[in-house]
Structure formats: C-alpha cells, structure tokens
Amino acid sequence: MFWMRKCSGLPETIRPNTLGSWSGWPVIVPISMIFSRVSRTKSSKEPPMASGNPKQEAAGLVFSIQHFCLQDGPGIRSLVFFKGCPLRCVWCQNPESWKPIPELGFKKHLCTNCRTCISVCPEGAIVSPGQIRSEKCRQCFACTDACPSGALIRFGKPLSVKEIREELMPEYPFYQNSGGGVTFSGGEPTLYPEFAAHLAGSLKRDGIHLAIETCGLFHADPDTLSASGTITKKDTAQTAHPETAGRLLTLADLVLFDIKLFHPEAHRQFCGTDNRMILDNLAMLARRYHQKGGPLIWPRMPVIPGITDTPENLEGWGSLLAELRLNRLTLVPFHHLGEAKREWLQLEPGPCIHTLTGESMEKTLRVLTKIGISCFAPGEEDWPEYISS
C-alpha cells in the first residue's frame, strides 16, 4: 500500500492550507518510516509463523510498527504493518510489504565494503556485499545483525500478540488523550485473519480504538459477520477458503477501504487482479455499516497521474460511493518514494509515472465534488463530525 504517513516531527508544509486547496501540495513528502523508531520488543527466539489455524497461529509477520501517526484514522495512532499483499499495484510505496515471508534488502549507498556480512554468514551464501546465493541463504539474518553500517536490512519479523502489545502499551496515554488508537495496515492485515483478530480482541479489551486499512481483497461472506464478533460455520461461497476476515472486521471501529481502479480490467492491468471481490466487499461493508451492524467505512483513493485520476475512473467511483452512501473520501497524492525500496530488494524499476501537479488534483476534486463526494487530504478528515452523525 502506498499511503503517505504524517507523524510527529514532519514539517507543517506538507499539509494543505485549506480543505480543497491542493495547488501547494508538494510533489515529494517525507514518510514516517524515516522517523519511526526501532521496535522495543527484543526476542532471541522467534514464535512460529501464522499458519491459518487458530490453534497454531502464534505470530503475525510484521515489517514495521510506527508511532505518532496522524493520517490513518482519528487522533494520534500507532500503525502495525503486516507483511504480505494480494495486489501488485504498479505505484506501490511499500514493495517490501508484498511477499508474506521475511526478506533481505541491501542499501548499496550505505555499504562500506567491510565484508563483515561475508564472514558471519554460516552458509557461505554471500559472495560479495549485495550479492547473495538465494539457494544457500536460509534467512538467519546474521548478516543484518552484524552489518555495522545498516546497509543490510531485514523486512519482516514474526511477532506474537504479547510482543506487539508490549510495543504499543506505552502509547496508550497518547491514544486516550487524543481520541486515537491503533491501525492495522500492510501489506494486507486480513491475510492474517485469526492472528489479527486475536490481537484486535486484546486491544479492544484494553479500550483501544481500532482501525483496519485494507485493499478489500479478503474472504468474508456477509453471513460470517455476526453481531457477537464470532465466525459462523458458513464460510464464503466465493472461495470456500478456510479463513475469513469476519471476526476481525467485527472488532474494528473503522475500516479504511482503499479504492484504486473502478473497472475490473483496468484494476487487473495496474494492480495484478480484477476488483470484483473488492467491489462486493465494499458494498457488503457499507450495507453492514448503515444497518448499524458493522464498523465505520471510510474510502481512500491514491491519486495516480494518468491512472486513477481519469474522468472515467473518478466518475465510476464517485457514482458507486454515492449509491452506497459513502460520501466522504480521502485523496492521497502520489509520490515516487517507493522506487528506492525496489532497488534495495533488487526488483525491476516501476513504470514511469508523471509527477502529480496541483492542477491534476484540482481536476480530481472537481469531478468528485460535482457527484456529491466530500474530499479530504490525509489527516484532515472530519472524524468527530462524521462519527457523531
């Protein structure tokens, strides 16, 4: 997922002067990953990875926990980023979130060629700094622990519910004083339905507001969303998948629903799969919300020049949102900050996408406003007014 993050310490210049005044929005802005601190939790023995079996799902694969974020729900929030995503959006800011396995990254510009990584690798998998025999690497990550310059970086670590709670608990006073809470993001948190539901239940027992950011591509039949927050015996008829996001979604107070391309073929072209299940899930969640049986649904759309900002795409989404009575939308400006991470992971460069201009954002705003959709910059949403209504 490509969202910009706004955390403490970022300059005020990244914020628009007024709602709907987009011409001064910068092309490139910092993201909170730059400011996020290393997790407090230290463990020499990693818990077993999430398996899909609730009795065995002892850990979820997390690639970052960030604090003091203001763009992903109301108040001051912490973000838990789950690793693994079913989409492959060509503009993605976080390609390290794609694979549901730990990964090794190499920041060439930080390497001092000290060759420490070669000497500590127990498998002899590192030929030279940045050149690794993947068939020999068993992902012990001894190289990342020993690298003195931080050139080698690990993306993804299995964390237990206890470890994540220990990381989040010192932030509870900030949540309570600001009306904030915790947001599950990714990647895609619904890839870990049982583990994420276990973590969510723990946070809810602590009285913490919970938001879930999702791409909408998850297995959840309406019948699995019971008022008690439990999964019914009937599974989704769409996939017969043994897992479901049903219980996780009933525990959420807010669902930040990412929308991208409206037409299925365009969605397949730019995101790797069609969006039929996504559209079904959006309609299902909107219906549950209006029936007072589900969490608040708040759509968000990245504004990607030439891709998501076309009149056809905007009119398609605007009409559907109006039909579903979801008349508030966060518009997230595109930036190029994901390209460096592609290089760290030795991935092919992304496609050339034009820089987003203020004029393009204004056109996007006009199309959606004409349909009756109220648009917001990230972090500028009218949460109190909307929630109270």
**Shared-domain flag, residues 218 and 328:** yes
Is residue 11 in some structural domain? no
Whose tokens are 């996504």? That residue is: 278
**Shared-domain flag, residues 350 and 372:** yes
The per-residue pLDDT string of the chain (389 residues; one tens digit each, 9 = 90 and over) reads 433 333 433 333 223 333 333 433 333 333 333 233 334 444 434 544 444 443 445 789 999 999 999 999 999 999 999 999 999 999 998 999 999 999 999 999 999 999 999 999 999 999 999 899 989 999 999 999 999 999 999 999 999 999 999 999 999 999 999 999 999 999 999 999 999 999 999 999 999 999 999 999 998 765 555 433 333 333 322 332 435 688 888 899 999 999 999 999 999 999 999 999 999 999 999 999 999 888 999 999 999 999 999 999 999 999 999 999 999 999 999 888 788 898 898 888 888 888 888 888 999 999 999 999 999 999 999 986 655 54
Q: Which amino acid is at 206?
A: D
pLDDT of residue 355: 85
Is residue 369 in some structural domain? yes
Q: Which domain holds residue 124?
A: 103-155
What is the CATH number for 67? Answer: 3.20.20.70
Is residue 322 in some structural domain? yes
**Shared-domain flag, residues 355 and 380:** yes
128 strand-pairing partners: 131
**Shared-domain flag, residues 136 and 37:** no
**Shared-domain flag, residues 110 and 251:** no
Is residue 282 in some structural domain? yes
**Shared-domain flag, residues 91 and 120:** no
**Shared-domain flag, residues 209 and 290:** yes
Q: Domain count of the chain?
A: 2
